[in-house]
Structure 1
Amino acid sequence: MSGHGAPTLQVEAAGARVAIVASSWHDQVMDGLVAGAERALADAGVTDVTLLRAAGSFELPLVSQGCAAAGFDAVVALGVIIRGGTPHFEYVSAAATDGLARVALDTGVPVGFGLLTCDTEEQALDRAGLEGSAEDKGREAAEAALSTWATLRGLASLD
């Protein structure tokens, strides 16, 4: 299982303003990812959560960048790309991944990476945090964003 060895990240983030940016493809998988992210945010005490939909995974970086510019403390980017019979999978996966990293680095706003890149729909469902899923990647992405936010806040207080 790919999630073997994943850390348990528990952060108190009351007062943080968080955007969840979710692609619009593969409803069942996306519903699970969004629900997992929302559970993690609620568990961390985050009450100011805005859910925005991007057309697809390729659009996640631009919408995430817009959220950073709008003053959100953290962004949780969620999407799923399932391999097909064309190079489309590689191009979109690389562009979305690179774009999300660039948003975080260029803006200084943490971006939780919840982009599933799977060979099959079954693999995506197994990572979506649904009942019976082996992993909850939406939750993990939200926890990573909050953990990074908390770390950066701690650095600012060292001055």
Structure 2
Amino acid sequence: MAGHGAPTDAPTDASGLRVAVVAASWHTVVMDGLLAGAQRALEAYRVTDADVVRVPGTFELPVVASALAAQGYDAVVALGVVIRGGTPHFDYVCNAATDGLGRVALDHTVAVGFGVLTCDTEQQALDRAGLEGSAEDKGYEATSAAIVTAQTIQQVRRG
């Protein structure tokens, strides 16, 4: 299982953080699960200043994440899903999203939670979406990672 070895730290109080979640619209059931997981993480970390923005697909995540980072959010969580098909489209979208989100993090020095599922089958996506019966909750994990990273960036900036 991919989740084996995940950190088990308890959520901390991140109520002072401003967090944005940008989520793709394709694969509604999976996306609903990822967004619910993100919301559970925001609540667990006591984040009250959070906004959700929807985009058409995973390819559009980086440009909107960049715009949100430029607005001063402490963390941006990107949620999407790409399921392999019979064309190279999968590779192009996955690479563009991964490279683009990495660039957002570095260009803006902002925490970016990577909650993009890159799966061979819809079942794999459902197993990671945080739904009832899912083995993993990648929406929660990506949001948690972004929050903890944002707190770390704040600590580094304070010296």
Scaled to the shorter chain, the TM-score interval is: over 0.9
Per-residue deviation, 1:157: 1.7
Whichever residue aligns with residue 143 of structure 1, its letter is S
Bigger shift: residues 1-10 or 30-39: 1-10
Hey, what does 2:6 align to over in structure 1?
6
1:59-108 CA distances to partner (integer Å, 9 max, x unpaired)?
Answer: 00000001001111110100000000000000100010000000000001
Per-residue deviation, 1:8: 2.2
Distance 1:76 1:52 in 2: 10
Per-residue deviation, 1:55: 1.0
Distance 2:142 2:13 in 1: 15
Aligned-residue Cα RMSD (Å) equals 0.7
TM-score, normalised by the number of residues in structure 2? 0.97
Structure 2 runs not aligned, ≥5 long: none
Following TM superposition, the consecutive aligned residue runs of length 4 or more in structure 1 with deviations greater than 3 angstroms are none
The correspondence of residues 115-126 of structure 1 with structure 2, limited to 5 A, is 115-126=116-127
Distance 1:69 1:86 in 2: 34
Hey, what does 1:107 align to over in structure 2?
108
TM-score, normalised by the number of residues in structure 1? 0.97
Q: Is the 8 A contact 1:11 1:143 kept in 2?
A: no
Whichever residue aligns with residue 50 of structure 1, its letter is D
Q: Is the 8 A contact 1:130 1:136 kept in 2?
A: yes
1:21 to 2:22 alignment? yes
Secondary structure, counterpart of 1:155 in structure 2? helix
Distance 1:86 1:156 in 2: 44
Hey, what does 2:73 align to over in structure 1?
72
1:9-60 CA distances to partner (integer Å, 9 max, x unpaired)?
Answer: 4232112111000001000000000000111011101011111001100000
1:124-159 CA distances to partner (integer Å, 9 max, x unpaired)?
Answer: 00000001000000000000000100111111221x
Question: Percent identity over the alignment?
Answer: 65
Structure 1 runs not aligned, ≥5 long: none
Distance 1:153 1:8 in 2: 22
